[in-house]
Chains A and B, each alone.
Chain A
């Protein structure tokens, strides 16, 4: 899933409260629409991650309670699938496609570069600045190699171009 920013960037206190209330309500409504059915667990986790950015332990417990499932089953599913993240998202996310077409077109160098930038950010005390994800194949092989930076596709991207783009967003 491509990163969806937005909710966490609101910085005034009342607005945060308003947004949070709304999210809890939206989440409840989504579960209710599924009839709190156990077989909708993956759908519910998708919704939770879309709304809250990641799946906290508290959130997983809530899901287990509402869908009447053992917490172990919910954690088991949440950790099985690559999409679900139990950690909060970084400020910027670079998703490097490592499908075969991208790989033979040099995705490895892009991945190394992104990782290097990520480590540099950690070294200067900004661990939440840049997150790196790998995609198995986003299916845009005609544009290989592809990097998705904060939801924006960078087609036929070179290492130099990626570096410039990362520089531009300050990551």
Chain B
């Protein structure tokens, strides 16, 4: 039986009352990273202790709170304290609130700690609050309220207009205006249209989408449903990386729950709007993050891109108009519809609105997710992550994975927005941000990314298939100290060739890490060249 909008409000209210009755609530991180270091047995121990001590404390799971390198994390509801590296020995003190010097030493403020203080959380606003495995928990946080509002009060064209007004741009990396893409699909006359969520987060070092899917799966489903209403689609697919087992499981649970409550399926919220979602599991091919390759993969084919146009909004899945957006893009949609496009457009810079979630990793003191308003200097993000571990110096940072570039320390004041990052030779990318220190060889990093592109090239077009092999061989010569001046010239001309003649983004952007390394660290390449024999 589908929930009516009134029942939706009642359910949310009931859940808030239920949780409000507890003296204390403990939220245990249940994302993959914390799970790998024992958050499941920890949660079980906390639950057992809470039960035996009278039931005044509730222990709930929650999504990734961001500080992944200090897990397992537990957040205390009453004062917002966040406990780091929690062990089963801490259970009595946590549940009974007994004083513990050892636990106090690992207590930080979820709001005031430098890692969190500069963050503005929109996409991650439910992390540490909502239990990803319980739909009522999401409802209590206002979940599906945006969908209810849209279905009750707005025409599809108004939804698209609101998203356009927000200035939201694609969070997968390229930054195409989301509202414009929605309009393109909405204006197509077709009996069938599709909405696809690109959750093939392939960039190594990027784990924002994984965290959102694991921690707040309903948020993504709600965003997709709103998009489907806006563009006139009735069927959606989520294409998830096969590596993300936990994310897949959480999505399956979420879809089942939403179907049961009539928030997905037919006659959603007792209206005439139908929308259902299916999961498609990737099989380990980086190129499937490219939209036409992703479509081929959903169709059960080899994930090879095809030339565009026609673009997917005209001819996508099965030749039908298809809207493809990234996980983080969809996760931004519900708050935009609740608070309005103008609210969202008030955050960020002139051309890049809202926030961006970065997965900060590498040589930093802290590793994890940082969500900041667009326009925040990169240096600020690195500082929030505690700078380089052990007091070392930042040498460069890398954004955009194998398609992005490195930014040297002297340019770290560059603000994070789509245009500024491109201007310094890198790109926003999906949000991976790797920090490198003086021990990292930029030549080796360039070789590493080229090896990645060589292995992941689908082989369809020659420039990418053969060019990545040749560029990798040349970079290997640099690593071995065997390269000559001709090799350098050849490397540069091949980079130009790949950029201009490859079929898809993989080949076109494969030279970017090498070219930025060459541009900012030419001395490292020079030092690895073969010593020219002395003249006669």
Contact = CB atoms under 8 A, between A and B. Distances in A.
| A and B pair up | yes
Contacts of B432: 100
A140 B300 contact: no
A153 interface: yes
A41 B368 contact: no
B469 interface: no
B340 interface: no
Nearest to B449: A100
A136 B204 contact: yes
A67 to B, nearest CB: 8
B291 interface: no
B361 A81 contact: no
A43 B280 contact: yes
B283 A46 contact: yes
A77 B368 contact: no
A18 B284 CA distance: 32
Contacts of A140: 32-33, 36, 68, 207
A16 interface: no
Interface string A102-125: 011100000000000000000000
Contacts of B70: 142
Contact of A136 (B33, B202, B363, B434): B202
Interface stretch (B237-245, B268-276, B420-428, B527-535): B237-245
Interface residues of B, number: 52
A81 B67 CA distance: 33
B243 A1 contact: yes
Contact of A81 (B36, B284, B448): B284
A40 B68 contact: no
B206 interface: yes
Interface in B294-350: 297-303
B37 A138 contact: no
Nearest to B32: A140
Contacts of A43: 280-281, 300
B156 interface: no
B68 A80 contact: no
A143 interface: yes
A39 B300 contact: yes
Which residue, of A37, A101, A139, has the highest number of chain B Cβ atoms within 10 A? Answer: A139
Nearest to A76: B302
Interface string B45-84: 0000000000000000000000111110000000000000
Contacts of B301: 41, 73, 77
Contacts of B203: 137
Contact of B303 (A1, A80, A84): A80
B286 A136 contact: yes
Which residue, of B70, B285, B300, has the highest number of chain A Cβ atoms within 10 A? Answer: B300
Which residue, of A76, A103, A140, A153, has the highest number of chain B Cβ atoms within 10 A? Answer: A140
B512 to A, nearest CB: 14
A39 B401 CA distance: 30
A46 B242 CA distance: 9
Interface string A36-52: 01111111011000000
B243 A139 contact: yes
B166 interface: no
Contacts of A39: 298-300
Contact of B436 (A73, A83, A104): A104
Nearest to B279: A43
A19 B467 CA distance: 48
Contact of A80 (B281, B299, B302): B302
B285 A80 contact: yes
Contact of A143 (B69, B284, B456): B69
B126 interface: no
A84 B283 CA distance: 7
Interface in B235-263: 242-245
A2 B210 CA distance: 16
B361 A101 contact: yes
B283 A153 contact: no
A155 interface: yes
Interface in A120-156: 135-144, 146, 153, 155
Contact of B359 (A138, A141, A153): A141
A82 interface: yes
B448 A103 contact: yes
B216 interface: no
A144 B201 contact: no
Contacts of A37: 300
Nearest to B38: A155
A137 B359 CA distance: 13
Interface of B: 32-33, 36-37, 67-71, 201-207, 210, 242-245, 280-286, 297-303, 359, 361-363, 367-368, 398, 401, 432, 434, 436, 440, 445, 448, 452, 456, 458
Given A81-B282, A81-B283, A136-B456, 4 more contacts: A77-B301, A83-B242, A101-B361, A140-B32
22 contacts: A1-B245, A40-B300, A42-B281, A73-B301, A77-B300, A81-B283, A84-B283, A104-B362, A136-B452, A137-B202, A139-B32, A139-B33, A139-B206, A141-B33, A141-B205, A141-B359, A141-B367, A142-B33, A142-B368, A143-B33, A144-B361, A144-B367
